[in-house]
Amino acid sequence: MTDKMNWFLLQTKSRQEQRAAENLDRQSVTSFCPMIKVEKISRSRRVEALEVLFPGYLFVQLGETSVSATSVRSTRGVSHFVTTAGAPIKVPESLIDQLRDRVAVNADVVASSLPKVGEEMEIIEGPFRGLNAVFSQPDGNSRALVLVTMLNQQVKASIPFSSLTSVTQSPN
């Protein structure tokens, strides 16, 4: 009789998804940690990086007799099983298949919410709220240098990314 394999959801320790996956692999436990390419600011430069799609979580496939839940829970990087009513949540295999397909199809797609140089932005909070600006360049990891038109002159200002929104062009 073969052991029925089920997928479960594990919560990992903060930023230790890869560590948990590697340690589970050493125990011959199949795990899945969906990753996507993202564009972000690092050291004032745009860089592409692989990031975990569900930070703090990892899917594992276990059979009833394959590996004990206790050894999985005590694996370095693992915090605990995600449970409901005290029982670990079973994740449908169809969901895992869909996630794998999406990750594979979008392997070369870079997710980015960063503005492009010259993009029109609106300042939504702070002393310049309501003014339009033009994105110039990143200023550190969380701020942007923008050009704000004031008194018929363009002035450089350093604004937090969270205080900017893209101005959508309305069709004419």
Q: How far apart are CA 5 and CA 85, in angstroms?
A: 21
One DSSP character per residue, 89-112 reads PEEPHHHHHHHHHHHHHTTT-EEE
Q: Which pLDDT does position 10 carry in this prediction?
A: 95
For the chain, the domains span 5-112, 120-166
Domain 120-166 has CATH 3.40.50.2300: no
Q: What whole-number distance in Å separates Cα of residue 87 and Cα of residue 85?
A: 6
Which is nearest to 60 in space by CA: 10, 15, 99?
10
Per-residue pLDDT of the chain (172 residues; tens, 9 = 90+): 456 889 999 999 999 999 999 999 999 899 999 998 887 777 666 778 888 989 999 999 998 766 777 888 889 999 999 999 988 999 999 999 999 988 888 777 776 667 888 889 889 988 888 888 998 888 777 788 898 987 778 888 888 888 888 886 544 4
Report helix, strand or coil for 122. Answer: strand
Instruction: Tell me how crowded residue 120 is: count the other CB atoms within 10 A of its CB.
Output: 14
- pLDDT value at position 2? 57
Helix (H, G, I), strand (E, B) or coil at 153: strand
Give the homologous superfamily in CATH for domain 5-112. Answer: NusG, N-terminal domain (3.30.70.940)
